[in-house]
Structure 1
Amino acid sequence: MRFLDLPERTSGKRTYGITSIVDFGIPSKELENILYDFGHIIDIAKLGIGSAYVTPNVEKKISLYKKHDITPYCGGTLFEKAYHQNKLTEYIEYLKGLEIDWIEVSNGTVDIPLNDRLDLVSHLKKDFHVIAEVGSKDANKHMSTSDWVDEVRSLLENGCKYVITEGRDSGTSGIYDKSGLIKSELVDELLKEIDCNKIIFEAPLPKHQMYFINEIGPNVNLGNVKLSDVLILEAQRCGLRCETFFLEENKCRLPL
């Protein structure tokens, strides 16, 4: 029985309000049980780092995600490994063999110039839904706010479905400082310049998730979410936690 007035959540095949989880190797049987209960509140599943390449029964896991209408894709580290070894052609065939039609273009570990990434997006979007990640995994690398905005905008304009803001699974790089604090001025500038419904903010910890929910609204796109946090994240989105209790309606403009 539903009787509370809660913030309105997107549902079904979401284009925003997305929860993107990171799978670091959860066993297939355990995943099957989790998806039975929580599959409807998961939209995207990233097979984290390069783990897909060494995952037993990876085809079964991909099939499980698809069964629950969840989009699976391989983490950017696997893309960067293939790029670094000049094996992108083989990587593309590998993804097609797994029937994965999303591909991430990132430069979190390997320094790939923006123009080269834009060329890759133009090439890959013929066969894949392309998502890109902006920001380095190295917390010591500085990137100006204007460069962040320019990269996110350029990648979207060139055909990326979404752009992910780097945060790692620890929340200590990219849009976070070394201590895990959110670079709020950077986030504010991104929100001023870019449609927030096209950005997936990596938010690995509940404190990060609550920040973005309160700052942007219940239908903010969040990534690098741990499977164990999926239900509590949905409760947060619905104003069912102290820190989001007085949650406003979605502040982001809706897609045209």
Structure 2
Amino acid sequence: MPNAVAAMAPLLHNRFLTGFAKSFGVIMASEIGDKTFFIAAIMAMRNPRVTVFAGAIAALAVMTVLSAALGWAAPNLISKVYTHYAAVGLFLFFGLKSLYDAFLKKSDNEESELEQVEQELSDLNKNKSTGKDMKDMDKRKGNFLSTMLGMVFSQIFLKSFTLTFLAEWGDRSQIATIGLAASEDVVGVTLGGILGHALCTGAAVLGGRHLASHINEHTVLVFGGVMFLLFGGHALYTGP
């Protein structure tokens, strides 16, 4: 038995590194210039950077764990062969779609991700009551849960967490994480994804609007498309 464990150690190590590298690469390719990136960048311009970063990375870490767990459980419910080739299909689809958006999709009069996020945050702020009105409303309603949450977490943390979590739900990086976890080492995929999110979010928080406004969306789409196609091709070549 010890010999068998020793013989499997290099294989497990390689699977961990492969899952880690693929997950990290996918996140870096898909999150730079994505909606969650701009949410962190714009919020950090007007609020404490540490609080914005903490809320955003907490949401992304939770989403990564949930996505990886879903991908890990999928082969137990569906044949590993089917889940593997479904993941391959997703990678190839996202890769081709990114390249299509970069080269063929008409973008006349279409808002960029940055402009869309700015508009959404502006609308959210307009529809929100002032801090004094909110406090008075909480007192009148006696909302114990909101009071306790306000004592534990700042409103900025909760806003950053909620907006990031909702923006990430159903995003291509979430679906890619599910696909990777279904075919690669789930721990490696989880850690690689969280590290990738942390670096992207950290860059957004530190760079703020300056970094966001200098991102070339065409280059990001091309880079992301190539990365997805490479990972899809590698998965297709190695097999389930």
The bucket for the TM-score relative to the shorter chain is: under 0.3
Structure whose residues are more often strand by fraction:
1
Structure whose residues are more often helix by fraction:
2
Instruction: State the structure with bigger RCO (CA 8 A, min sep 6), 1 or 2.
Output: 2
TM-score (norm 2): 0.22
